């Protein structure tokens, strides 16, 4: 007999930050995140940010050696490749973004896969790649493809 399916919910992504305040400002100013909680652990603050149902957990990693990332994120196993957010209008989002975003790739169009799918990749203050796209839709019947 199969084990019962347990419902799961998205919780958060934890990010190591060279400058925790700069990283918090970036996600606040560019994506509308707000501080949800601060926990004092191991002599340092861990900051939780929230935007809708999405949470980010920011850890102070000042002095740690940064990884080298490709334009859309690290390619090796064991590393998160990038974070991704959906917007209704990529061009409007980019035009309204505060300051100069550090674009690592794009904007690119993926009309050959999904008409209207557009994506750009930017770097946060710690070099984490953040994908911003519009127009992605699930493939009907994809759960049947194996």
With respect to residue 125, please indicate whether it lies within any of the assigned structural domains. yes
**Claim to verify: residue 82 and residue 42 sit in the same structural domain:** no
**Claim to verify: residue 47 and residue 79 sit in the same structural domain:** no
Q: What share of the chain is helix, strand, coil (3-state, %, to 5)?
A: 15, 35, 50
**Claim to verify: residue 134 and residue 89 sit in the same structural domain:** yes
With respect to residue 145, please indicate whether it lies within any of the assigned structural domains. no
- Sheet architecture: strand order including 44-51: 13-17, 54-60, 44-51, 34-41
With respect to residue 3, please indicate whether it lies within any of the assigned structural domains. no
Q: pTM, whole model, 2 decimals?
A: 0.75
| CATH number of the domain enclosing 127 | 3.10.180.10
With respect to residue 146, please indicate whether it lies within any of the assigned structural domains. no
**Claim to verify: residue 77 and residue 134 sit in the same structural domain:** yes
Q: How many domains does the chain have?
A: 2
**Claim to verify: residue 43 and residue 90 sit in the same structural domain:** no
Q: pLDDT tens, position by position, for the chain (146 residues)?
A: 665 665 556 778 888 888 899 999 999 999 999 999 898 877 888 898 999 989 888 888 777 666 666 676 665 555 677 898 999 999 999 999 988 899 999 999 999 888 999 999 999 998 888 999 999 887 888 777 76
With respect to residue 128, please indicate whether it lies within any of the assigned structural domains. yes
Domain extent at residue 37: 9-62
**Claim to verify: residue 96 and residue 54 sit in the same structural domain:** no
Nearest residue to 131 via CA among 69, 47, 42: 69
**Claim to verify: residue 54 and residue 20 sit in the same structural domain:** yes
- Residue 91 structure tokens: 């061009």
């Amino acid at each position: 007999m199969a084990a019962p399916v347990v419902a799961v919910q998205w919780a958060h992504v934890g990010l190591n930050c060279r400058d925790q305040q700069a990283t918090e400002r970036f996600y606040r100013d560019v994506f509308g995140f707000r501080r949800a909680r601060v926990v004092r652990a191991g002599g340092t603050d861990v900051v939780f940010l929230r935007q809708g149902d999405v949470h980010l957990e920011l850890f102070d990693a000042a002095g740690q050696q940064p990884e080298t990332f490709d334009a859309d994120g690290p390619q090796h196993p064991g590393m998160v490749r990038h974070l991704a957010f959906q917007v209704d209008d990529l061009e409007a989002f980019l035009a309204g973004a505060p300051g100069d975003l550090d674009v690592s790739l794009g904007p690119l169009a993926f009309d050959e896969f999904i008409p209207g799918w557009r994506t750009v990749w930017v770097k946060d203050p710690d070099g984490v790649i953040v994908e911003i796209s519009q127009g992605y839709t699930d493939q009907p019947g994809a759960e049947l493809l194996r």
